[in-house]
Amino acid sequence: MPSFVINEKCDGCKAQDRTACQYICPNDLMVLDRETNKAFNRAVDMCWECYSCVKICPTQAIEIRGYADFMPLGGVVQPLRSSDSIMWAVRFRNKVVKRFKFPIRTKPEGSIDPDAGFTTGTEDLKSPVLRTEPDSL
């Protein structure tokens, strides 16, 4: 069932006008059931297992159960994404657990300066020189 929602943990993003999982899914699969106030994946066989919904859910209510048509039960891969790094817990079918931590960005979100301190060497719209070039080359 690729991505699935743990009912107990999902709070429907506190009834805000859009839920985090619905906002992010690149294939528009996550929807909120207005009656139960719980999210669900509406077409599990169109899920890329991209983990975008898993990473963004504020209550860690979403996990992935590997595609049952080729993955044996029992494996779990679960991320915890912070502002500058991501931690992964990989649990094997035989219960072995491995943990990994990787950086994800070196500058805080929201701080990007498009020119990044480079200057553009031309004003000519017809020249092949692009924004920030030749400085950034």
Partner 1 sequence: MNADNFKTLVVETDLLILGGGMAACGAAYEASYWAKKNKQRVTLVDKAAMERSGAVAMGLSAINLYLGLSKGNNTVDDYVSYVKNDLMGIARKDLVANIARHVDSSVHLFEKWGLPIWKDEEGNYVNEGRWQIMIHGESYKNIVSEAAKSALKELGEDGAYYERVFITEPVMYEDRCVGAVGFSVRENVFYVFKAKAVLDVMGGAVHVFRPRSVGEGLGRSWYPPFNSGASTYFTLKAGAEMTCQEVRFVPVRFKDSYGPVGAWFLLFKSRATNAKGEDYMEKRSSELENWAPYGTSKPTPANLRNYLMLLELEEGNGPIYMRTDEAIQKLVAEIPDEKESRRKMKELESEAWEDFLDMTVSQALNWASHNIMPEETPSEISACEPYFISSHSGASGAWVSGPKDLAPGEHHWGYDNMTSVKGLFAAGDAAGASSHKFSSGSFTEGRIAGKAAIAFCVDHPEAFEISEEQTAAMKERVLQPLKTFQEHHAYTNDEDVNPNYIKPRMFMFRLQKIMDEYAGGASVGFKTSGALLTRGLEYLQFMKEDAEKLAAADLNELMRCWENVHRMWQAESHIRTMLFREETRWPGYYFRTDYPRMKEDWEAFANCRWDPESGKWEMIKREIL
Give the footprint of ligand SF4 on residues 19-58 (CB under 6 A): 19-21, 24-25, 27, 29-30, 32, 39, 41, 47-53, 57-58
Residue 4 partner contact from partner 1, ligand SF4, none using kind-dependent CB cut-offs of 5 to 8 Å: none
Question: Out of 4, 12, 88, 121, which residue is the one contacting partner 1 (CB under 8 A)?
Answer: 88
At which residue do the structure tokens 């070196």 appear?
A: 106
The span from the CA of 85 to the CA of 56, in Å, is 14
Residue 91, interface with partner 1 (CB under 8 A)?
Answer: yes
By residue count, the chain amounts to 137
Which amino acid, residue 79?
A: P
Question: Out of 7, 28, 33, 36, which residue is the one contacting partner 1 (CB under 8 A)?
Answer: 28
The span from the CA of 120 to the CA of 127, in Å, is 12
Residue 116, interface with partner 1 (CB under 8 A)?
Answer: yes
Residue 128: is it exposed, middle or buried by C-beta count within 10 angstroms (0-12/13-18/19+)? exposed
Residue 113 partner contact from ligand SF4, partner 1, none using kind-dependent CB cut-offs of 5 to 8 Å: partner 1
Residue 12, interface with ligand SF4 (CB under 6 A)?
Answer: yes
Residue 137 partner contact from ligand SF4, partner 1, none using kind-dependent CB cut-offs of 5 to 8 Å: partner 1
Query: Of 83, 101, 99, whose CA–CA distance to 91 is shortest?
Result: 99
